[in-house]
Chain A
Amino acid sequence: MLEYLKLSIDGASVRTVKGTSVLDAALAAGICIPHLCYIPVLKDTGACRLCIVEQVMNGRSKVTTSCTLNAEEGMVILSSTEKIQNLRRNIAELLVAQAPNSRAIQDMAVRCGVKEVRYPFRNDKCVQCGRCVRYCSEYSHANALGFVGRGQDRHVEFALGFRRDLCKNCGFCTEFCPMSITPCGGPMKHGEERLCGMCDSKINPTPYQPGICVRCDLGKGFQCARQHYA
């Protein structure tokens, strides 16, 4: 038996099924909450922190990730207050400063309102969103690659070298990797990293309106879970 419930997101009354995350409920209702590590078919992990929202309870608000928060009856959620927009923008800024060589990450930064990057750019090949790792273990049950190390030297690696006996050739790791899409102007070499700002504004001139899905470029392809809700 499906148990329905209602919660309030940005003032709108949203109806969803018990057991759904707040993020999922919002996306289904056409409310845009940026996200990166979230993939509907995989377990929520709350790693990228982009999907943060404010949960209002007893007169106080708590910042929490909407992907790990289960929707409950009567919940009051605010997804794009000024505070959230600032926090989200800062997180996106950290991401694009770390790994600018991806159209998806550049797009995400623009979506989240990043106008300038205040840190020296790096040129990491991996943004540690965890999609490849989680697909490999949770979906394909191959466990051929995973996170290794901790903190600074944490990275994705094969289990003691690429193993033909473990990899099932499903291809999800490359298919869902945000770093596999190069920036529009071509790959950025060392020293040439910058905030591109071309992709999104070039293809979709509609300015980002907080909270409303404008069917941006991130939604096409696989970068946004909204594609599941048409």
Chain B
Amino acid sequence: MTKLDSILEGRRSQPHQLIEVLHDLQEQYGYIPEKAMLAVAGELGVPLMEVYRVASFYKTFSRKPRGQNVFTVCTGTACHVRGANLLIDQVQGQLKIAPGSTTADGRVTLESVNCVGACALGPVVMRNGSYFHHVTPGKLRKLIDQTGKIKKEEFHEKTKGN
């Protein structure tokens, strides 16, 4: 588990580093694996229950593996009044998944977020960390249809930078 080692480097026995460690784990694996939680508990000196608790409290962390492509719809107030809920409707109708879930083939995960700070350009959707603005249900449908074609390596490259 050398990836884990590099994440824990310089942070061992420092309980307050827990959240930054979880961030790095999320970036590395796309989610927080149970094995990682056990390792982190031991190395940081934090009770396992606390690691689990923190990983479940903060919405950035996912305890289930996510799909190849993560679509994040901003549901902040400015995007909401410009119709962000229509975008959620679009994805639910098109792919039959609700926010927080992944398609059966693992191609797309849908998530919602409460504001990315690009409010003047709403509705905003992010695909694997790239921003799209003034998104309409039609535009989103096209974007999703085109998305099978992104290669896995490209996906990992983009999420690392986040």
Contacts and interface: CB of A to CB of B under 8 A. Distances in A.
A and B: bona fide binding partners: yes
B106 interface: no
Contacts, number: 35
A148 interface: yes
Interface in B49-65: 49-50, 52-53, 56-57, 59
Contacts of B52: 146, 148, 157, 159-160
Given A160-B34, A160-B37, A143 B57 contact: no
B34 A143 contact: no
B49 A137 contact: yes
Given A160-B34, A160-B37, A143 B48 contact: yes
Nearest to A147: B53
Interface in A121-146: 137, 143-146
B12 to A, nearest CB: 19
Contacts of A42: none
Given A160-B34, A160-B37, A146 B50 contact: yes
Given A160-B34, A160-B37, A166 B48 contact: yes
Contacts of A148: 52-53, 56-57
B47 interface: yes
A159 to B, nearest CB: 4
Contact of A149 (B38, B47, B57): B57
Interface string B32-46: 001001100000000
A164 interface: no
A163 B48 CA distance: 11
B33 to A, nearest CB: 11
Which of B37, B38, B47, B50: most chain A CB closer than 10 A?
A: B47
A150 interface: yes
19 contacts: A137-B47, A137-B49, A143-B47, A143-B48, A145-B49, A146-B50, A146-B53, A147-B53, A149-B57, A150-B56, A150-B59, A157-B52, A159-B47, A159-B49, A160-B38, A160-B48, A160-B52, A166-B48, A166-B49
Interface of A: 137, 143-150, 157, 159-160, 163, 166
Q: Which 7 A-B pairs have the closest CB atoms?
A: A143-B47, A159-B49, A143-B49, A146-B49, A159-B48, A148-B56, A149-B56
